[in-house]
Chain A
C-alpha cells in the first residue's frame, strides 16, 4: 500500500525567511510525488511533481522540492516566504506498482507566513 505523512499540522515562518514543509512517503515501487496548495474554500492547485531524473524539482510561484530516496522524503521549500504563501499544502503520491491511478494524499500542512 502507498501512504504519505506530513508530520507538521502547521508551519509558521516570518516573511522573507526560507520555508520548508515536510513530506515522507511509503510505496512498493517507484514513487511519483506531487505537491498541491489549497486556499480557503477553493480547489487544489498543482505546484510541482517528481517523476524521475533531477532530485531538485522546480515548480510554480518560486517553490521547489527535493526528492531524497534514501530518506523517502519529498520536502517542499522556498528561499523567501511571502505572506501570500499562507495556505494549506498537500503532498501526494502515486505508485504504478499498485495499479492505483488515483493519488494518495497526506493530511495537509497549514503554512502561516507572518508579515
Chain B
C-alpha cells in the first residue's frame, strides 16, 4: 500500500451524522483521489485533487465533501445527505510529472458502515 495511510480502518455512522475519513501520503505526490467501492461495481470516483487548494467532483460527488489544505492530506467527509454510505472507501495518489501515464497508488481503505 506504499506510503498512503487511511484511518480509521472501520467507521460507523449514525443516521444524520457527518463523518470524516482521513487520507495521508508521504510520497510527495501532487494528485490525490477518492474512490468508492461497492460489490460488483468496481471503483467509482468521488473527488480528485491535482494540486493543493483545488479539487474537482468525480462521478458520484453528491453527499460528499473534501478539502486539500496540505499536499499530504486529502480528507473526505461523508455528509448526512449521502443516503447510502455503506461501502469501502479507497484513497489514491499519483505524481504529476507524467500526466495521464502516471500510476496511481492506493491506501488500505476504510470500510464505512451505517448503524
Contact = CB atoms under 8 A, between A and B. Distances in A.
B106 interface: yes
Interface stretch (B12-20, B63-71, B75-83, B107-115): B107-115
Nearest to A99: B100
A9 interface: yes
Task: Describe B's contact surface by its main secondary structure.
Answer: strand
B43 A90 contact: yes
Interface stretch (A14-22, A37-45, A70-78, A79-87): A37-45
Given A43-B90, A43-B108, A103-B104, A96 B99 contact: yes
A96 B42 contact: no
Contacts, number: 61
B50 A43 contact: no
Interface residues of A, number: 23
Interface in B71-93: 88, 90, 92
Interface string B31-61: 1010100001111110010100000001000
Contacts of B99: 96, 101
A25 to B, nearest CB: 13
B97 interface: no
A102 B1 contact: no
Nearest to A29: B100
Contacts of B4: 43
Nearest to B45: A102
B100 A32 contact: yes
11 contacts: A32-B100, A34-B103, A36-B106, A41-B109, A42-B1, A43-B90, A46-B105, A94-B100, A101-B99, A103-B43, A105-B43
Interface of A: 9, 32, 34, 36, 41-46, 49, 51, 90, 94-96, 101-103, 105-108
